[in-house]
Amino acid sequence: MLSATRWSEKLSKPMKAKMLQTELTASPQWGTEPEWPDLAARAAKAAIAASSRADLMSRNFDIEVSVKLSDNAEVQTLNKAYRGKDKPTNVLSFPQIQPDLLDTLANTDDGEALLGDIILAYETCRDEAVAKDISFSSHITHLIVHGSLHLLGYDHENEVDAGVMENCEINALATLGIANPYTEQA
């Protein structure tokens, strides 16, 4: 018995990969709980989806974000070298693609793009979570969302840009079931 399937251009179009890869490395003090690689992937994906660059997720190329869970000493060294601030901070982002190239990528259908690197300082992040009385994993999720938005060209150097970035963060975190981090806690 022979069978045939009629060719259809509509059915033969390549599927979009929509692939976001997160590469995560963690210093020992971070432990293994919660599941950091999954948390990082979900946070980065939510940030991109909530941004003006959401179209990147519908393209047929891989997007990579590198996340390093480190410590105050390493982050302080990087903060001094790249920002001239000799102190640790919670998160640093190092974009690998300029914003105008992101526009070009949004109009292509193949290849791959390393958006950049995000590095977090364990001690600073832990102390902030305790001071804010929020879960450590929720705080880390927020900071990875924040760092991912920096990789996409967002910044908070002025009030207008800060408001735009915060709205993206709030929307991304809401999709992950995390409350608005910018509201005052009772």
80: containing domain? 17-175
Domain for residue 66, yes or no?
yes
Residue 68 makes CB contacts below 8 A (sequence gap 6+) with 24, 25, 26, 117, 118, 119, 120
Domain count, the chain: 1
Q: Say if residue 15's pLDDT is above 60.
A: no
- The answer to whether residue 12 is domain-embedded is no
**Percent of the chain, pLDDT > 70?**
83
pLDDT for the residue numbered 20: 83
40-63 in b/e form (b: 16+ CB < 10 A) is bbbbbbbbbbbbebeebbebebeb
Residue set of the binding site for Zn(2+): 146, 150, 156
pLDDT at position 62, please? 81
Model confidence at 186, pLDDT cuts 50, 70, 90, reads very low
Residues 66-86, mean pLDDT to the nearest whole number: 97
Instruction: Determine, yes or no, domain membership for 44.
Output: yes
Whether cis (ω within 30° of 0) applies to the bond prior to 34 is: yes
Residue 2 has pLDDT above 50, yes or no: no
What CATH number is associated with residue 73? 3.40.390.30
Percent of the chain with pLDDT over 90: 68
Q: Give residue-wise pLDDT tens across range 120-154.
A: 999 999 999 999 999 999 999 999 999 999 999 99
- Angstrom distances, CA of residue 186 to CA of 132, 140, 173, 175, 182: 11, 21, 20, 23, 12
Write the pLDDT tens digit of every residue in 88-126: 999 999 999 887 777 676 666 666 788 999 999 999 999
Residue 70 domain flag: yes
Tell me the whole-structure pTM to 2 decimals.
Answer: 0.86
- Evaluate whether residue 7 is within a structural domain: no
Least confident span in 3-17, 57-71, 128-142, 161-175: 3-17
Annotated binding site: 146, 150, 156
Q: Is there a domain that residue 146 lies in? A: yes
